[in-house]
Amino acid sequence: MPQMSAKNVQIFDTTLRDGEQVPGCKLNTEQKLVIAERLDQLGVDIMEAGFPISSPGDFTSVEEISKIVKNASVCALSRSVEKDIKIAAEALKYAKRPRIHTGIGTSEQHIKHKFNSTKEKIIERGVSAVKYAKSFVEDVEFYAEDAGRTDNEYLARVCEAVIKAGATVLNMPDTTGYCLPEEYGAKIKYLMENVKGIENVIISCHCHNDLGLATANSISGVLNGARQIECTINGIGERAGNTALEEVVMIMRQHPSLDLSTNINPKLLFDTSRMVSESMGIYVQPNKAIVGVNAFAHSSGIHQDGVIKNRKTYEIIDPDEVGASESAIILTARSGRAALAYRANKIGYNLSKNELDHVYKVFLSFADEKKEIVDEDIHEIIKKSVHIA
């Protein structure tokens, strides 16, 4: 459990923006409203509802979400382009706590090849965008796209300039998922130590998972002073995805020594994961941390024996804590007598040691033929065992 004194990390959910960029996952406004309501109940601090300039449908979704969200700040994405920012502000007009998210690429790659521009001109564009966004809303988040590959000294100059222009949150995306955790953490530390005015704003981590490091990088970021993590349910998002919300939240809960906490209600994690998966038609990989079907399933005999004696022998999280059903004991040819007796007991058989020996022999012959033994098989195995006993 997080300690009362723990430093709060804001959870910025971008399931409905970066998450929805997954090919084939387009949601309509009604589906987005259902998810937005759930994210609000889950306790996200900020919800990125969309990119209003990108399409009329996205504009309507951001507008409708703004009307129904009660607790979270509602955020809209824009480029450092006046028209984008104006449309984002219009879409947010009903939000209780509106936030405009604007920014520009800051790496050499982006400056040269995307914008054919210079470092100075990029700073000017970022500053103008923040000032313009500030004329509509108080809360303006600036993203330095591809911050992961941006030289730290230049990044610090960008940050200082946009803070002066009024940015309240500075987002440092590892857009290409390239950074190593130490490197990303060092980048945040550098900004914390070298940017004038940094103590008045929040640094945000926005990590992509191209090398499977999004979660590790986000945690490294908050350990070095960032106080916001941008993430999605089930880690969905562009290419290999974004940081998984359920993972960073549970890491902070499981490690009180980190002294970090969030406002998320973990009991809703499992259900929210299912809801997003069904709505988007993207299935969750079985071994996905926290929310995969196998996250609390045990199939080897040694592990099953341990879990039946005491769940904590092989589980660090109580499934109930994340709203999952109880730990599952899966019967396969790798299972032992303890697991078979446990599962048989669950469906009404209290087997003596002698009976269990007979039943176990029949069980093994079944299990060699089938991938998994289900309750119906157990009934049949026990019936068959009585004949040979």
Residues that bind ligand KIV (CB under 6 A): 18, 143, 145, 171, 173, 175, 206, 208
Using rule CB under 5 A, residue 13 touches Zn ion: no
In angstroms, give the least distance from the CB of 144 to Zn ion: 12
Partner touching 145 among ligand KIV, Zn ion, none, CB below 5 to 8 Å by kind: ligand KIV
Give the count of residues interacting with Zn ion (CB under 5 A). Answer: 1
Angstrom CA distances, 249 to 44, 111, 262, 267, 377, stand at 11, 34, 7, 12, 39
In angstroms, give the least distance from the CB of 207 to ligand KIV: 8
Q: Which is nearer to Zn ion, 11 or 382 (CB)?
A: 11
Tell me which residue has its CB nearest to Zn ion: 18
Partner touching 99 among ligand KIV, Zn ion, none, CB below 5 to 8 Å by kind: none
DSSP string covering 113-149: IIT---HHHHHHHHHHHHHHHHTT-SEEEEEEETGGG
Partner touching 143 among ligand KIV, Zn ion, none, CB below 5 to 8 Å by kind: ligand KIV
Tell me which residue has its CB nearest to ligand KIV: 173
DSSP string covering 243-299: -BHHHHHHHHHH-GGG-EE----GGGHHHHHHHHHHHHT-PPPTT-TTTSTTTTEE-
**Beta strands at 139-145 and 228-231: parallel, antiparallel or unpaired:** unpaired
In angstroms, give the least distance from the CB of 231 to ligand KIV: 12
> Contact 267/287 with Cβ under 8 angstroms?
no
Cα–Cα dist 67/74, whole Å:
10
> Contact 54/16 with Cβ under 8 angstroms?
no
Partner touching 270 among Zn ion, ligand KIV, none, CB below 5 to 8 Å by kind: none
In angstroms, give the least distance from the CB of 308 to Zn ion: 43
Cα–Cα dist 344/341, whole Å:
5
Provide long-range contacts, Cβ within 8 A and 24+ apart, for 314-323: 316/254, 317/250, 317/254, 317/290, 319/270, 319/295, 320/267, 321/253, 321/266, 321/267, 322/246, 322/250, 322/266, 322/267, 322/269, 322/270, 322/290, 322/291, 323/266, 323/267, 323/268, 323/269, 323/270, 323/271
In angstroms, give the least distance from the CB of 206 to ligand KIV: 5
Residues 153 to 172: which contact Zn ion by CB under 5 A?
none
**What tokens were used for 315?**
């589980």
In angstroms, give the least distance from the CB of 179 to ligand KIV: 12
Q: Which is nearer to Zn ion, 18 or 247 (CB)?
A: 18
In angstroms, give the least distance from the CB of 4 to ligand KIV: 32
Q: Which is nearer to ligand KIV, 167 or 295 (CB)?
A: 167
User: Helix crossing, 56-68 with 82-91: angle to 10°?
Assistant: 40
User: Helix crossing, 119-134 with 152-165: angle to 10°?
Assistant: 30
Instruction: Pick the stretch among 14-22, 261-269, 299-307, 376-384 that binds Zn ion (CB under 5 A).
Output: 14-22
Q: Which is nearer to Zn ion, 47 or 329 (CB)?
A: 47
Three-state DSSP at 5 gives coil
Q: Which is nearer to ligand KIV, 72 or 308 (CB)?
A: 72
Backbone angles phi, psi at 142, to 5 degrees: -105, 130
Q: Which is nearer to ligand KIV, 171 or 335 (CB)?
A: 171
Number of residues written out for the chain: 389
Q: Which is nearer to Zn ion, 18 or 160 (CB)?
A: 18
Partner touching 288 among Zn ion, ligand KIV, none, CB below 5 to 8 Å by kind: none
In angstroms, give the least distance from the CB of 18 to Zn ion: 4
Q: Which is nearer to ligand KIV, 243 or 327 (CB)?
A: 243
Residues 223 to 242: which contact Zn ion by CB under 5 A?
none
Using rule CB under 5 A, residue 18 touches Zn ion: yes
Q: Which is nearer to Zn ion, 18 or 20 (CB)?
A: 18
In angstroms, give the least distance from the CB of 230 to Zn ion: 7
Residues lying near Zn ion in the complex (CB under 5 A) are found at: 18
